[in-house]
């Protein structure tokens, strides 16, 4: 019964979080070239990196799957806030978050299923992840609330004022649910969390490098490139926690917690570095 209430709380929290995101969007936000590049990097390239790192560090199957869950998750709401305060491309950040979240309905179950089969083959341990059920759960928790939020915004622009009233309680509920879930699983080994730190750090560094360099190679402006990079490292780990709690062994949450240690410092480092470079460039032009 306790697990049922935990799953329900996590689901409600994610629904509110995505509803708030939908309230912040309009359809024109999705018509950008940088959105395509950023989305492909988030949901195709970085999951490949996650699989490679899980193999490189020879993680147990369930922890390896957790790393892939992190890698395949879209950007999160905090990335939008960081980009906004740093005067990056806020509209692009929000659009990337929303676009990747919607596409995740199809990509996340497939990547996790691929990882499950790969790591089972290497280790012989069983990790189950029902693809269809997971896709339906993700659709209920992402596409439906985002669509409802966008519909409400289209019919009443003033509905935007409800965005924080939905997202903040949603985030609080998920964080509390994750804490309770961890506390109710005394079999979780702290050493496995420590084992997850190195691959999580390596993935965070990879996200920063790939997210910055590849957009610049596509001649995307530096402001947009750093915005994409922040989206790739400041992920919606709350979605990963909900997914793990509902369809995987809760042990897989440990790599997500490990990555959470690095994502905010990494995102802030990118933005601070970009701002310093911008100031230096502006000073050189004035001189």
What tens digit of pLDDT does each residue of 124-141 get?
A: 454 455 556 666 666 666
CATH of 2-280, one of 1.20.1530.20, 3.30.70.1060, 3.40.50.670, 3.30.70.120: 1.20.1530.20
Query: CA 210 to CA 189: how far, in whole Å?
Result: 32
For residue 75, the cross-strand partners are 235
Tell me which of 31-40, 156-165, 217-226, 277-286 is least confident. Answer: 156-165
Query: CA 134 to CA 79: how far, in whole Å?
Result: 25
Tell me which DSSP letter residue 1 carries. Answer: -
Decide which of 199 and 176 is more confident. 199
pLDDT for residue 4: 52
SS3 (DSSP) at 126: coil
Query: CA 258 to CA 188: how far, in whole Å?
Result: 14
* Cα-Cα-Cα-Cα dihedral sign, residues 208, 81, 172, 44: negative
- The 10 Å Cβ neighbour count of residue 80 is 27
Considering only CA atoms, which of 238, 215, 200 is closest in space to residue 88?
215
Judge contact between 65 and 248, C-beta under 8 A.
Answer: yes
Query: Is the predicted pLDDT of residue 268 greater than 90, yes or no?
Result: yes
Query: Is the predicted pLDDT of residue 17 greater than 90, yes or no?
Result: no
Token couple for 263: 């994502």
pLDDT for residue 19: 65
Decide which of 208 and 98 is more confident. 208
* Cα-Cα-Cα-Cα dihedral sign, residues 133, 134, 137, 140: negative
- Please report which confidence band the pLDDT of residue 164 belongs to, taking 50, 70 and 90 as the band edges: low
- Relative orientation angle of helices 90-123 and 222-233, to the nearest 10 degrees: 40
Query: Is the predicted pLDDT of residue 161 greater than 70, yes or no?
Result: no
Token couple for 260: 């959470």
- Please report which confidence band the pLDDT of residue 227 belongs to, taking 50, 70 and 90 as the band edges: very high
Judge contact between 26 and 163, C-beta under 8 A.
Answer: no
pLDDT for residue 93: 83
Query: Is the predicted pLDDT of residue 249 greater than 80, yes or no?
Result: no
Query: Is the predicted pLDDT of residue 115 greater than 80, yes or no?
Result: yes
pLDDT for residue 261: 92
What residue ranges do the domains of the chain occupy?
2-280
- Please report which confidence band the pLDDT of residue 34 belongs to, taking 50, 70 and 90 as the band edges: confident
């Amino acid at each position: 019964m306790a697990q049922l209430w935990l799953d329900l709380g996590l689901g409600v929290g994610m629904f509110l979080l995505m509803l708030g995101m939908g309230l912040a969007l309009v359809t024109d936000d999705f018509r950008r070239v940088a959105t395509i590049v950023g989305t492909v990097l988030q949901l195709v390239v970085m999951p490949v990196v996650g699989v490679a790192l899980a193999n490189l560090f020879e993680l147990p199957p369930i922890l390896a799957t957790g790393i892939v869950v992190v890698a395949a998750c879209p950007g999160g709401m905090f990335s939008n806030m960081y980009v906004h305060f740093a005067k990056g491309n806020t509209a692009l950040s929000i659009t990337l978050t929303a676009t990747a979240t919607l596409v995740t309905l199809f990509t996340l179950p497939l990547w996790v299923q691929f990882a499950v089969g790969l790591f089972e083959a290497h280790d012989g341990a069983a990790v189950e992840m029902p693809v269809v059920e997971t896709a339906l759960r993700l659709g209920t928790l992402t596409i439906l609330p985002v669509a409802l939020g966008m519909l409400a915004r289209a019919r009443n622009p003033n509905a935007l004022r409800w965005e924080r009233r939905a997202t903040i309680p949603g985030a609080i509920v998920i964080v509390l649910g994750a804490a309770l879930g961890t506390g109710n699983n005394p079999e979780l080994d702290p050493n496995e969390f420590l084992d997850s730190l190195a691959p999580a750090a390596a993935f965070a560094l990879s996200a920063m490098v790939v997210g910055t360099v590849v957009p610049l190679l596509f001649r995307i402006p530096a402001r947009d490139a750093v915005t994409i990079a922040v989206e790739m490292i400041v992920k919606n780990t709350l979605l990963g926690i909900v997914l793990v709690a509902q369809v995987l062994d809760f042990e897989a949450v440990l790599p997500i917690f490990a990555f959470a240690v690095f994502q905010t410092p990494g995102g802030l480092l990118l933005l601070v570095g970009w701002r310093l470079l911008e100031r230096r460039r502006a000073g050189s032009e004035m001189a």
